[in-house]
Structure 1
Amino acid sequence: MVTYKNLDRCSSFDSLKKIQAIKLSEKLSAQRIASFWIRHAAAMSYCYAFAPVDDQIIEKLQALTDEQELVEKYRLLVEGEIMNTGEKRMVLHHMARGRLGKTVRWEGQDMEAFYSQEKQRFYEFARKVRDGSIRSSVGTPFAQVVQIGIGGSDLGPRAACIALSRWAVSHKRARLAPWFISNVDPDDADSVLSHIDLSESLFVLVSKSGTTQETLANETLVRERLRASGLNPDLHMVAVTSKTSPLAGNPHYLDSFYIDDFIGGRYSTSSAVGGVIISLAYGPETFEEFLQGAHEADKLAFEPSLRHNPVLMDAMIGVYERNVLGWPCTAILPYAEPLSRFPAHLQQLDMESNGKSVSRTGEPLSYSTGPVVFGEPGTNGQHSFYQLLHQGTDIVPLQFIGFLQNQISPDMHSEGSTSRQKLLANLVAQMLAFAIGKSDSDPNKMFPGNRPSTLIIGDELGPRQLGALFSHFENKVMFQGFAWNVNSFDQEGVQLGKVLAKKALGAISKGESTFDARLDALISAALHTSLKAQMQPDTAGKE
């Protein structure tokens, strides 16, 4: 039996807080930089030489890892323990990419078999679309695929499709161009629809509950555009949903592919939520390689030693930075343009998971939990917010990601070096500049240094590496959630606004609001309801 307890009740945490923080610029040496590496999945490596830790701090972090039984809790999670305590659900996104322990059953169903069967179904569908066996309502092959979803139904799959787009071209796997519609703002859908030929476009509607307000509104808009173009919407749309939703087996879709309540939206890229569009756009074999990379990283996460487990080391360094050093933010800095939307995905993954102020049992916490996450690809970020990172009053831990090779096209030479060499030179220079700093008689030109960072680096960004990156950050969030004793798998913080939005829409439909006079005094404070009154649970479902 494992024990769930708050971080501030751990004796190892008390010991950790008593250790004096290191001065990073004084610790850096050639030996440290050469030795503070951990082998990662998909031939990648994780470097923590620039993190604010030394052997003594790592020893205490290991003790905290052991006291909080982080690896054993991970094992229980993948074997079907109820880890989403708020909704009393299992957490099975790992199983969508391969079983890691004993068989998990739900209502007699082998869950690994369920995920595998659904995967094979959408693989077969994708093959038929890609080879032209399944065509549009006017008989033309599909050339575009558009995902309609929001939150986790959009951010992870969108980040993955962008990350693999040029790789798929270079490996001759690109067949359907992927697009995404997420915002209920009609300008979003209109922008996408104005750039594509509707007669050769296939739409993937993603809603676990089948009742997600924004997604259904966008579906209605798309169907109206298809009809206006003389097309049959039913022959241009598939659904990704649960078997209990109104979309399941619905004749108004070419097919329905199923997910379940055990895979949360922000963890769902490994399921049909990401698998359908990636398989259609780049081929089932590409999505399978993504899953293999994620599964390899999932297996590495069982290693109990911090020094041999890259994600566990990353997670515990983050706990130390948040709860001992008191740093409230972290920046994701991929020196890889294909990862341009990856920070946005990680923002939801981390902040929606660990942005909690009560424990798994609802007890108020006396310590900080999840950090604020933001980011932008290098080198763009260097000409944007790096000013604050280098010389601002707050220290922000940095997570760099880099690759040694391009995904496509010959490199460009100028001024004695290639573009890739310039990119990597900037990555290395920034890590050093943040850590070492610079003295100057002019205070305006002084860099304080001692700004920590970590690095994940690989040869090339392909589907295996991308899958491993998705796994790394999912498992990092999980381990940190266990350390903080929070439920990382519900998201009640997004529900209250949904309830009030329904009330505001009800007022508009009844003519009680015109939605102006500066939003009708915020719809008369949500229709005369006391803002402090207890809200009823949202019954509309979650994406």
Structure 2
Amino acid sequence: MQDAHSHSAISQSPVWQALQEQAAQLKRRRLADLFAGDPQRASDFSLELPQFLLDFSKNHIDRSVFVNLLRLAEEAGLDQWRADLFAGEPINVTEGRPVLHPALRGGLAEDLEIGGVSVTGGVEAELQRLKELVVLLHNGALTGCSGKRITDVVNLGVGGSHLGPQTAIEALRAYRKGDVAVHFVSNVDGAQLTDVLVGLDAESTLFIVSSKTFTTSETMTNARSALKWLQRAAPDEAVEVLLQRHFVGVTASPEKAQQFGILPERTYRFWDWVGGRYSLWSVIGLPIAIACGFENFRALLDGAADMDHHFREAPFAQNAPVIMALLSVWYCTFMGYPAHAVLPYDQALHMLPAYLQQADMESNGKSTNRAGVEVDYATGPLIWGQTGINGQHAFYQYLHQSPEVVPADFIGSVTAGHDLEGHHEILLANMFAQSQALMNGVDAESVGRELAAKGLSQEEIKRLTPFKVHRGGKPSNTILLKELDPRSLGGLIALYEHKIFVQGVILQIYSFDQWGVELGKGLASKLEPKLAAADLADEDDSTAQLIEYYRRNKCGAVTPTELPEVEVAESAGEQA
């Protein structure tokens, strides 16, 4: 693996300096003029892979900039870092771990051993165990304490332990099985757990406790409350039996799951070389396999492995993750555009912006380079967005006419996920139109002609024109899937994973730790007992004031809502 301290600051390199100069020049050029001067631009700045078309032609780059961006990737040592990733080198340097989520989906070029154990063998063994559980669930053979079949599964997890699986299940709505319902609880705010449990039959409910460490405060608090809910439903059952029959553990710390009371055969393992936000490919994806069937979960993994192979083998100039990463660095670091919008034109992908927000911002929201020195440039962008049609009636006004420039990813599919006539054509027409409008805008002359055609006077035209001008020049990528299915979804998510990795390599930061997450969690654990009673002298004035206000008003507050009463069917064999 590369020595993290053997590099010079990339921001001092000639290619970096050249890109800074080009950024200043490109800001003065219109996107429409770039197309006018290059008849081959659309085809040359596009990449077609088996599952989708990536059109990056509506970006503020020319061929010279593209060449320099590719040189930047080479000078950053991307070839070696990519090789180190797939070879299992400890590229998560601050935690001394490899980063091997590609191994979870068969994405390595060859098997590795860690601690004398085959990585692929361990992954496949856990997947087979997971498959057996899923088959039992769908066959109705998995039962709770009373003998009733499990019909509802509640996943208790936060961060990567819920966001990845829930995003995938929502995206694969057309592939869901109907016999077992999957629910998610991520928030320690008891309102979410209470709402999810309303209407569920405790006798036929299974809880998945998903936590890498099995010490995550939010998740374990929800797990203990779920156990209390079960106890109220079955007061005569021993706690040990409830834990054994109604709980599954998914963790990198199986011994802690078993200390909690979950059976070893109901504990599913992943490893510390799997980052939480990259863990949906592991047994953390159990909810996906339950909701959509194991065969579709396997297809999801296969699609991600396809992208792993593409990322490993394709030259940089035809490498989709590399191209998208270079464009992100170009805009955030060189052009000075600090935000990036993710705009899916597919209702099934409505959670994708939130998923990518975590994946990107938790990875590259850093200000220290690999030498431990504060960077002198912007790193990862702020990621935000939502489904396109809803966004058009919310924040697209900002995208079009604000002085700020927000590069965007438009994501859609050729094939509709439904059979309603006419809907999909309207959806795609809007997606194509919005990227076109952001690129071209509308100048004053065009506005004047439009208003004149409507019969307005010259005085009215002059008054209204400034308000209707769109300056354009707003860049975007378009990812057009052939179809949103398990395989293409796997490829899409893996595309962004590798993009984020490449960004980090170029910016010389470590993308796989998240110390900023740990800081707040540590402070919260110290403050929690002070909400009841403790000396606040060592707290800052603002925090002390907030705690004192909480203490004063807690006594008069409305009694919190209890977990819902459990309706126990008269017949132990009756299905909910």
Same-fold status (TM-score > 0.5): yes
Distance in 1 between the 2:324 and 2:312 partners?
Answer: 14
Q: 1:292 aligns with which of 281, 287, 302?
A: 302
Distance in 1 between the 2:148 and 2:101 partners?
Answer: 36
Q: 1:220 aligns with which of 224, 238, 244?
A: 224
Identity %: 33
Q: Deviations over 1:48-97 (max 9, x none)?
A: 01111121111111111111121331111111111111111111111101
1:264 deviates by 0.8
Displaced runs of 4+ in structure 1, greater than 4 A? 1-5, 248-251, 509-513, 517-520
Aligned pairs (5 A) from 1:162-311: 162-165=170-173, 167-169=174-176, 173-230=177-234, 232-243=242-253, 245-248=255-258, 251-253=261-263, 255-274=266-285, 276-303=286-313, 305-311=315-321
Q: 2:489 aligns with which of 460, 463, 466?
A: 466
Aligned pairs (5 A) from 1:96-135: 96-135=104-143
* Counterpart position of 2:452: none
Distance in 2 between the 1:382 and 1:178 partners?
Answer: 31
Counterpart residue type for residue 33 of structure 1? A
CA contact (8 A) 1:5 1:485 kept: no
* Secondary structure of the structure 2 residue equivalent to 1:294: helix
* Counterpart position of 1:318: 328
Q: Deviations over 1:190-212 (max 9, x none)?
A: 11111433332221101111110
* Counterpart position of 1:367: 377
The alpha-carbon distance between structure 1 residues 245 and 374, as it changes in their structure 2 partners (threshold 3 A), is farther
* Counterpart position of 1:495: 518
* Counterpart position of 1:11: 14
Structure label with greater radius of gyration: 2
* Counterpart position of 1:358: 368
CA contact (8 A) 1:481 1:488 kept: yes
Counterpart residue type for residue 462 of structure 1? D
Counterpart residue type for residue 291 of structure 1? L
Cα-Cα RMSD? 2.2
* Secondary structure of the structure 1 residue equivalent to 2:132: helix
CA contact (8 A) 1:242 1:259 kept: yes
* Counterpart position of 2:414: 404
Q: 1:48 aligns with which of 42, 56, 63?
A: 56
Q: Deviations over 1:335-365 (max 9, x none)?
A: 0100111110100110000000001231111
1:99 deviates by 4.2
* Secondary structure of the structure 1 residue equivalent to 2:262: coil
1:278 deviates by 1.0
* Secondary structure of the structure 2 residue equivalent to 1:154: helix
Distance in 2 between the 1:124 and 1:6 partners?
Answer: 51
* Secondary structure of the structure 2 residue equivalent to 1:400: strand
Q: Deviations over 1:211-252 (max 9, x none)?
A: 100000001111111221227343111000124541147643
CA contact (8 A) 2:413 2:484 kept: yes
Counterpart residue type for residue 50 of structure 1? K
Q: 2:391 aligns with which of 370, 381, 401?
A: 381
What TM-score do the two structures reach when normalised by structure 1? 0.90
Distance in 2 between the 1:386 and 1:505 partners?
Answer: 41
Counterpart residue type for residue 191 of structure 1? D
* Counterpart position of 2:476: 453
The alpha-carbon distance between structure 1 residues 195 and 39, as it changes in their structure 2 partners (threshold 3 A), is farther
Distance in 1 between the 2:62 and 2:272 partners?
Answer: 41
* Counterpart position of 1:33: 42
Q: Deviations over 1:124-180 (max 9, x none)?
A: 111111111222222222222211000111111111111112x214xxx44322210
* Secondary structure of the structure 2 residue equivalent to 1:146: strand
* Secondary structure of the structure 1 residue equivalent to 2:398: helix
1:33 deviates by 2.4
1:512 deviates by 5.3
Tell me whether 8-17 or 110-119 shows the greater mean CA deviation. Answer: 8-17
Counterpart residue type for residue 317 of structure 2? R
1:483 paired to 2:500: no
Distance in 2 between the 1:522 and 1:245 partners?
Answer: 39
Counterpart residue type for residue 14 of structure 1? Q
Gaps of 5+ in 1: 413-417, 526-543
1:484 deviates by 0.5
1:383 deviates by 0.4
Counterpart residue type for residue 282 of structure 2? S
CA contact (8 A) 2:411 2:478 kept: yes
* Counterpart position of 2:571: none
CA contact (8 A) 1:249 1:256 kept: no
1:72 paired to 2:80: yes
* Counterpart position of 1:345: 355
The alpha-carbon distance between structure 1 residues 524 and 5, as it changes in their structure 2 partners (threshold 3 A), is farther
Distance in 1 between the 2:225 and 2:468 partners?
Answer: 54
The alpha-carbon distance between structure 1 residues 289 and 304, as it changes in their structure 2 partners (threshold 3 A), is closer
Q: Deviations over 1:456-513 (max 9, x none)?
A: 1112111011101110111000000000011100000011211211111122355558
Tell me whether 475-484 or 490-499 shows the greater mean CA deviation. Answer: 490-499
Q: 1:150 aligns with which of 155, 158, 167?
A: 158
Distance in 2 between the 1:73 and 1:407 partners?
Answer: 38
Q: Deviations over 1:20-68 (max 9, x none)?
A: 2142121125642244221235x21111011111211111111111111
> How many residues were matched structurally?
511
Question: As a proportion of its length, which structure holds more helix?
Answer: 2
Distance in 2 between the 1:290 and 1:71 partners?
Answer: 27
1:306 deviates by 3.4
Distance in 1 between the 2:156 and 2:542 partners?
Answer: 31
* Secondary structure of the structure 1 residue equivalent to 2:335: coil
The alpha-carbon distance between structure 1 residues 52 and 504, as it changes in their structure 2 partners (threshold 3 A), is same
The alpha-carbon distance between structure 1 residues 13 and 143, as it changes in their structure 2 partners (threshold 3 A), is same
1:115 deviates by 1.4
1:404 deviates by 1.5
* Counterpart position of 2:561: none
Counterpart residue type for residue 10 of structure 2? L
* Secondary structure of the structure 1 residue equivalent to 2:94: coil
1:320 deviates by 0.8
